[in-house]
Amino acid sequence: MGSNQATIRKKLMTWLPVLVLVLLFAMSLSISLGAASIKVSMVWEVIASKIPLIKEWVSSDWSASSETIVWDIRMPRVILGAIVGAALGLAGAIYQGVLRNPLADPFILGVSSGASFGAALFFVFGWQVTWLGNFTLPAVAFLFGFAALMIVYFLSRVENKARLETIILAGVVVQAFIGACLSLVLSLSNEKLQTIVFWMMGSLALTDWSYNQVVLPIISIVVVISLFFARELNMLGLGEEAAYHSGVSVQRTRFYLLVLASIITGAAVSVSGAIGFVGLVVPHIIRLIFGSDYRLILPLSIVGGAIFLVGADAFARTVLAPREIPLGVITAFLGAPFFGYLLRKAKRGYF
């Protein structure tokens, strides 16, 4: 056991810094790309000029417009992409571990559909809570997504137990029902239709620093808590009975993990729209490369999800510039073939 822990720690200490460096490179490259091309070195100089103590050593030899593009336009967008990607990557790893289903991702339980439905109602009826201000939309989307999860969990409980296959089936049912409600709202929202559809396809285009301030504290807290459940996820992977005899309270642990995963999914979807397949693709790539120990899968899926979404967003912004492709379209193009690959592998007992 001690040798195994040392091996896991060594892998984590080796690969986590590597992935963080890849993420920083991807973020700086993404910030430099766009209609106005900016050198990567200038990106770092602008960032350094905003850091106390360090800014005294930086000579500001760039234009005001370049600084605005880097700091006020692209920087908050890229950081939000990293936050959302990290949240979806972690949520996918948790869902797959709890449900023991390689095809599970943050959207299978209807959380995404619930959040999208809440956002659609917000756009149609113009709900605005004065003291929430610009945070009203994220708050409404999050509450509806969380409500969808609670309905799924309630429907799946039989004799005070939530069976795995029942959770997935309940998720499909709730997702279908909410999809019908969403279609009804779309049919009644003439002038808001384009806004709602664009939001549902996923985008980081309307981002500013305030969005990061909304989701970063929520996601950071949940990430830290989730990392403490790595051992329980390993035990759940051995089966309910083995987990129970290892001292894991199966039902309670499963409930806590589903709530945590759904909170970060709801928070991410509330600021970026429905971006699918991140939580499906990233944890599987991590599992294929580093094995099935959740002490590795959880932290590496967080960084891997951030890298994946930052890269996808850069591609969405630049491949058909000046036109921007919805981010959800890019992740679907990448994720759908991978989903088919997993289906084929699942038939041979891959998971």
Residue 228 clears pLDDT 60, i.e. is over it:
yes
Alpha-carbon distance of 344 to 108, in angstroms, equals: 19
Residue 290 clears pLDDT 50, i.e. is over it:
yes
Q: Using 50, 70 and 90 to split pLDDT, how confident is the model at 343? A: low
Alpha-carbon distance of 239 to 152, in angstroms, equals: 22
Across the range 314-322, mean pLDDT stands at 84
Across the range 137-145, mean pLDDT stands at 77
Interval 3-62: pLDDT, tens: 677 888 888 889 999 999 999 999 999 999 877 778 888 888 888 888 877 777 777 777
DSSP 260-281: HHHHHHHHHHHHH----SHHHH
- Residues making up the chain, counted from first to last: 351
pTM of this prediction?
0.85
Alpha-carbon distance of 173 to 155, in angstroms, equals: 10
Across the range 218-234, mean pLDDT stands at 90
DSSP 300-334: HHHHHHHHHHHHHHHHHHHTTTTS---HHHHHHHH
**CA distance to 12, 146, 235, 242, per residue, from 294 (Å):** 11, 25, 10, 17
DSSP E strands, the chain: 157-158, 161-162
